[in-house]
Amino acid sequence: MLVNTDIALGKQVNQIKIENKINRNVYLLITLTCLLFIIVFALILVKLLFRKPSEQLYLASTSQSQASINTSKFPNLNPSKPYYGVNVDMDQLIPGSSNYSINAKGEDYIDIAHHLGINLFRIDNAIRGFPGNTIYSEAQWNYVLGKMQKNGIKAIILIEGVDGDANLKSDNINNAYLNFIQKYIIDSNVGYNSDVIGIDLKNEPTLSTNNVLYLKQATQLVKNKYSKMPVCVGGWRIDTGKKKNDGTRYYIYNQPLDASSLSSIVDFYCVHVYHFDEKDSHGNYPDPTTLTTNYLQQISSVSKNKPILIEEFGAANNTTITDQETLGSAQEQANVYNGVYQSIIKNRAINVIGSTAYLFAPRGSIPDSWAILSKNGNDIDFAAYVLQKYSLDKSDISLSLPFKNIPQTYIYKNNTSGSTQTVKIDGSIGLVLQLPKYYKYVGLLSSKNLANLNEAVQFDSKNNNYDTVIYAAHLGIVKFIVYNNPLCTFGNSNCINNIVYSITLNIK
């Protein structure tokens, strides 16, 4: 029995030794694995800390771009390529309207837009070509949006009453605005149309406490009907509390940081970027790519990675003086479009989704310097072909961008009356005049061979002045006179007392 007991105890001791050896090996393996993991982690950390700055920027931009792509709740606000769009009025798109236009080829604005590669309309409601109210029927909306959809053009609908409606144009938003939304957007069922990718609540409202509260109500009103419809606010302004010389209020428009008060209201930011055609003290235009990029970088600091659409931008083409008192040229306008599109492409990583340029075509018979086509779509400016080039990677005309030889522009005011000004041939001369409103005015040239009157004397209601534009066609000296009697003729001695402004142009 003792022998058998010793043998059993020996076996038991050996078993314990084997188990202890196995345990030690397992512990050793776990320890080595942990050490290896720590070493690999340390190497990765060292590489991250000491990588090149350019590599850091690349990784950061890639990460940000992926975040932009993955976090958007609205697929149409995350297009595979930028939107190349324009602002156009609903009334210009409906057959039967007095503002509906067809060019010599039988094309309307939707047809022309498709040919130019335009893939987004911001649809305004500033003019009226039908008698009666400003509300479009569901059938009218479906006709226009249906044709747009067949031509690959999406829509953002701006909630806007026609000019002259005091309640809707009031600086202080009121219940009339909500009532209009009900009729214009809710009752028309326009948000159910699959071509509509967004609703723009209001154009450049003042961001007062009252107005922000109404805009929040507007968002809720839209969302109650169309739960998946993204909304934005089309630009904004701040009341400085100051007044201009003519007594009107002085506003500051579209400062990026002011948009922070819209963060709980909008699903995407619809920004307005201007001042491209304003010369500096040395007579130079700003670089459009730099100006746009600086603006986009600033707005991205408050946008919280929500999509950003440049919903308005533009530059004057020199046919008229703009409401910002700029004149520009067709070449400079094209350069601005080129620069803005370059900036959009460069800033896709911060969720910039494209643009809708201001403006597609004049509203009515009076020329509009913001427009990129005119005369019912028969005349197309360089800027439209720039858009076509970026959108379709081809254009109907050869383009070498940016244009180098930019025509000179000159703007003169009342204090130049009676003077002689030297201007360059092919230049444009704009006059901005403060004149009494109770007269009708006519502007006349001493020679129609040397200069052309591109814009007759027109009243600018926004700036409360009169504008006119002259084109310097040939070398020589020409005189321009403004009379306060439309029956006057140039040099008529009976009209000498009717002269309210005169200027002599020495074209060299």
| CATH number for the domain that contains residue 106 | 3.20.20.80
pLDDT tens figures, 17-61: 444 444 555 455 555 555 555 554 555 444 444 443 333 322 233
132 and 169 in a common domain: yes
Helices 109-116, 382-392: inter-axial angle, 10-degree rounding: 60
189 and 45 in a common domain: no
pLDDT tens figures, 408-461: 999 999 999 999 999 999 999 999 999 999 999 999 999 999 999 999 999 988
Residue 242 lies in a domain: no
134 and 189 in a common domain: yes
The token pair at 346 is 């460069």
Helices 138-150, 109-116: inter-axial angle, 10-degree rounding: 30
402 or 11: which carries more pLDDT confidence?
402
Cα Rg, the chain, nearest whole Å:
32
Nearest to 277 by CA among 333, 236, 223, 361: 333
Three-state DSSP class for residue 322: coil
319 and 438 in a common domain: no
Residues paired with 84 in a beta bridge: 355
377 and 316 in a common domain: yes
64 or 498: which carries more pLDDT confidence?
498
Compute CA 476 distance to the chain's CA centroid, rounded to the nearest angstrom: 41
Distance CA 503, CA 444 (A): 11
**In which band, very low, low, confident or very high, does the pLDDT at 14 lie, cut at 50, 70 and 90?**
very low
pLDDT at residue 244, as a whole number = 82
Residue 219 lies in a domain: no
| Amino acid at site 79 | P
333 and 455 in a common domain: no
DSSP 89-138: EGGGTSTTSTT----TTS--HHHHHHHHT--EEEEE-----SSS-SPPPH
pLDDT at residue 169, as a whole number = 82
**In which band, very low, low, confident or very high, does the pLDDT at 365 lie, cut at 50, 70 and 90?**
confident
55 or 503: which carries more pLDDT confidence?
503
The token pair at 438 is 């109770």
Residue 169 lies in a domain: yes
| Amino acid at site 202 | K
| CATH number for the domain that contains residue 456 | 2.60.40.2020
**In which band, very low, low, confident or very high, does the pLDDT at 96 lie, cut at 50, 70 and 90?**
very high
**For range 62-84, the mean pLDDT:** 66
What share of the chain in percent tops pLDDT 90?
Answer: 78
- In the predicted structure, residue 70 carries a pLDDT above the cut 80: no
- 8 Å CB contact between 77 and 230: yes
365 and 282 in a common domain: yes
421 and 281 in a common domain: no
Residue 268 lies in a domain: no
> Given the DSSP bridges, would you call strands 379-380 and 373-374 parallel, antiparallel or unpaired?
antiparallel
Distance CA 279, CA 97 (A): 39
Residue 62 lies in a domain: no
Determine if the peptide bond prior to 402 is cis (ω within 30°): yes
Residue 501 lies in a domain: yes
**For range 198-211, the mean pLDDT:** 97
Q: How far is CA 219 from CA 10, 126, 186, 224, 226, in A?
A: 85, 21, 12, 9, 10
**For range 362-369, the mean pLDDT:** 90
Its domain, for residue 17, covers: 2-50
Domain boundary among 392, 420, 452: 392
85 and 40 in a common domain: no
Distance CA 321, CA 328 (A): 8
- In the predicted structure, residue 406 carries a pLDDT above the cut 60: yes
Least confident of 69-78, 229-238, 363-372: 69-78
Count of domains for the chain: 3
360 and 418 in a common domain: no
| Amino acid at site 170 | S
Residue 398 lies in a domain: no
pLDDT tens figures, 309-361: 999 999 999 999 999 999 999 999 999 999 999 999 999 999 999 999 999 99
Distance CA 305, CA 352 (A): 9
Tokens 């963060």 belong to: 263
pLDDT at residue 38, as a whole number = 57
174 and 102 in a common domain: yes
Residue 425 lies in a domain: yes
Nearest to 315 by CA among 302, 324, 304, 305: 324
Compute CA 390 distance to the chain's CA centroid, rounded to the nearest angstrom: 16
The pTM score is 0.84
Distance CA 79, CA 67 (A): 14
Please count the CA atoms within 13 angstroms of the CA of 329 that sit on its side-chain side: 18
pLDDT tens figures, 280-289: 988 899 999 9
pLDDT tens figures, 109-140: 999 999 999 999 999 999 988 887 678 999 99
pLDDT at residue 113, as a whole number = 98
Distance CA 114, CA 112 (A): 5
197 and 146 in a common domain: yes
